[in-house]
Amino acid sequence: MSVDITADRDVGGAIVTPPRRRRRFPRALAWVVVTPFAAWAVARVAGLERGALVTQIMTGTPYVAAGSLLPVVLAALARNRAVTAVALVTAAALGSSVLPRALGSSEAAAGTPLRVLTLNMLFGGAEPEPVTALVRRLRPDVLSTQELTAEMVEKLDAAGLRELLPYRLLAPDHGASGSGLYARYPLDPLEGMFRPVGHNMPAATIVLPGVKPVEVVDVHPYPPLEEHVREWTEALEAFPPAVPDRIRILAGDFNASLDHAAMRRFLSRGYVDSADRAGQGLTPTWPANERIPPLITIDHVVVDQRVKVNEVSVHTVPGTDHRAVFADLRLPVS
């Protein structure tokens, strides 16, 4: 009688599963992704923008800064130290250029209040009643207007602006050239402070009770399009530097963002962007009332570094493609 001695035995040996290889993101493709971001960071930090196209797209730096996190992730997946290092430096450079505008700095609100509102009227197309309602609600001491036409002046007065801001220094015109300053307090025209390059840019001294006169400039250079890049740069360079014996405020449509080297050079001459200081520097102002939301920040209230910024807000006005910028300022004690 035969016995099957293998029936009760376990089969020997062990099942070995081969290790899975983690797929790496292709190193060459990682370099392809990180290189444009790195080039943008170099151009932004070093102020290397040249020509109309690069100058215009430089306003997109906040979006590029947000996107620069993608190369960091892809470089990590590629497990390449060189790509990762470049991606990290790129993201840090772009982030440090952009993030401070959203943080702002806390400032004491002591000092004499001065409220400034600026609005581009889009060839006089802004609806006068909402403009007047905004002035009535915010109670600015100064309203700086761009693209102001003679017809718009009449419509604003008919809507009640004259009662709210009775003093004015106006240079209305057809198209984009017209500008004008409206004020709650007397305005004295300023001549020869600088050589305006671009549209009409009236300047005046506003006399507030109890403080020294403040100089206000209505800003509107040409946009940096093909035929106007040189004039746009010259306009920003022509603005006067801050001086110790007076306070100067420039408000309007600069057609420039803080990512433009020419704008930063202007600010370095003793000024600060009020929205940047208030943590609102990334709030876009153009294009408004369009199918796409506002994308870039080119409207500013620029102030002497000694001026405190209490609050900054941005407001959409029907009939114009620019949003209004309101700055509640505190002037230094004389």
* Residue among 278, 329, 280, 279 nearest 308 (CA): 329
Angstrom distance (rounded) from CA 184 to CA 202: 17
Angstrom distance (rounded) from CA 83 to CA 90: 11
The pTM of this model reads: 0.90
Residue with tokens 């960071």: 41
State which H helix or E strand residue 273 sits in: strand 271-273
- Both structure tokens of 189: 């025209």
238 Cβ contact partners less than 8 Å away, ≥ 6 residues apart: 194, 195, 196, 197
Per-residue pLDDT of the chain (334 residues; tens, 9 = 90+): 555 545 455 555 566 555 555 556 688 888 999 999 999 999 999 999 989 999 999 999 999 999 999 999 999 888 889 999 999 999 999 999 999 999 987 666 688 999 999 999 999 999 999 999 999 999 999 999 999 999 999 999 999 999 999 999 999 999 999 999 999 999 999 999 999 999 999 999 998 988 889 999 999 999 999 889 999 999 999 999 999 999 999 999 999 999 999 999 999 999 999 999 999 999 999 999 999 999 999 999 999 999 999 999 999 999 999 999 999 999 987 6
- Contact status, residue 203 vs residue 235, Cβ threshold 8 Å: no
Fold assignment, 107-331: Deoxyribonuclease I; Chain A (3.60.10)
